[in-house]
């Protein structure tokens, strides 16, 4: 891992993400790009929407001062940090920054299930997930020493998930964690017999050239199955595939992906397919 991006808004949640990102940067000797996107208030804009260069420079200087204070933490010592300020909240810029610096991971904070904000409903995290070509790690709780011993990755094992599955395997190797692959079988239209499910799984694993085992877990819904299975193996991280701008993979119809990310007490990492 060479480069990690962590967007911050100087909030408590973004500091939680910063702690995890700093821990990963130290462990993997990676550069940490700390990104803040200025949100220009309509009060400083002209009727045409124009903001003068002087006003932008002033805001950047304020942002730089807040950056210096925000990054002045004991856990940041020894980390190679590059502060980055963007002029406005254009979330595709996070992906552009990741591409320009060959970033391996984006780490973001979220309120999770505390009732204040749900991460996949109109939030900054959702916007970054939908535009990011690199994995996005979502952190909710304080985690001074981020350690992933057991990593659960769930998908429907259709061909479109090959690259996401490969990336999940790479992340598991990078984090030195045991990878648990799971297919959640549910009653109704998506139900598969054990034979049909293993046939689909074997086909994908052969194409991906991955010699891994997959467990079929039965539950009343996909989201419950993923959360219950993850809890049963004491997972430290849950991985799910996404379709980026088109929303979550059709494997996560409706609110399945949102429910997993919102209701899981376990960190979630997304992989674009």
Domain ranges of the chain: 3-139, 150-272
Domains 3-139 and 150-272 share a fold: yes
Mean pLDDT score of the chain, rounded to an integer? Answer: 83
Diameter over CA atoms, the chain = 67
What mean pLDDT is predicted for residues 112-121? 45
C-alpha closest to that of 102 among 250, 3, 220, 238:
3
**Among 55-69, 147-161, 212-226, which is the least confidently predicted range?**
55-69
Instruction: Report how far apart, in Å, the C-alpha atoms of 153 and of each of 29, 165, 185 are.
Output: 26, 8, 15
3-class DSSP state of 171: helix
Q: Is the pLDDT at 58 greater than 80, yes or no?
A: no
CATH (residue range 150-272): 3.40.50.620
Q: Does domain 3-139 have CATH number 3.75.10.10?
A: no
Q: In the chain, at which residue ranges do the beta strands (DSSP E only) sit?
A: 3-7, 31-37, 81-86, 105-109, 136-139, 150-154, 178-185, 214-218, 237-242, 268-272
Which pLDDT value is given to residue 244?
A: 60
Q: With DSSP H G I counted as helix, E B as strand and the rest as coil, what are the percentages for the chain, rounded to 5?
A: 40, 20, 35
What mean pLDDT is predicted for residues 183-191? 89
Q: Is the pLDDT at 128 greater than 90, yes or no?
A: no
The pTM of the full predicted model, rounded to 2 decimals, is 0.85
Q: Is the pLDDT at 30 greater than 90, yes or no?
A: yes
Which pLDDT value is given to residue 68?
A: 86
Which pLDDT value is given to residue 258?
A: 60
Which pLDDT value is given to residue 61?
A: 80
Question: How far apart are the C-alpha atoms of 73 and 134, rounded to whole Å?
Answer: 27
Which pLDDT value is given to residue 85?
A: 81
Q: Is the pLDDT at 114 greater than 80, yes or no?
A: no
């Amino acid at each position: 891992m060479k480069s990690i991006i962590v967007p911050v808004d100087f909030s408590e949640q973004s500091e939680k993400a910063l702690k995890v990102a700093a821990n990963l940067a130290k462990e993997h000797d990676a550069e940490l790009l700390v990104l803040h996107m200025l949100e220009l208030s309509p009060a400083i804009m002209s009727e045409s929407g124009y903001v003068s260069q002087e006003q932008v420079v002033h805001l950047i200087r304020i942002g730089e001062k807040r950056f210096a204070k925000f990054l002045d933490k004991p856990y940041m010592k020894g980390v190679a940090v590059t502060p980055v300020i963007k002029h406005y909240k254009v979330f595709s810029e996070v992906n552009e920054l990741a591409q320009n610096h060959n970033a391996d991971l984006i780490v973001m904070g979220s309120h999770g299930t505390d009732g204040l904000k749900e991460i996949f409903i109109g939030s900054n995290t959702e916007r970054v997930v939908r535009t990011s070509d690199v994995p996005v790690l979502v952190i909710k709780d304080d985690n001074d020493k981020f350690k992933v011993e057991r990593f659960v990755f769930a998908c429907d094992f259709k061909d479109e998930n090959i690259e996401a599955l490969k990336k999940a395997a790479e992340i598991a190797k990078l984090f030195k964690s045991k990878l648990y692959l799971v297919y959640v079988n549910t009653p109704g239209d998506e139900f598969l017999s054990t034979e049909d499910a293993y046939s689909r799984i074997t086909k994908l694993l052969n194409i991906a050239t991955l010699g891994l085992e997959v467990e079929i877990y039965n539950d009343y819904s996909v989201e419950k199955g993923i959360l219950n299975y993850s809890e049963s193996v004491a997972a430290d991280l849950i991985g799910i595939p996404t379709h980026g701008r088109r929303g979550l993979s059709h494997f996560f119809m409706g609110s399945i992906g949102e429910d997993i990310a919102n209701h899981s007490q376990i960190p979630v990492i997304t992989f674009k397919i």
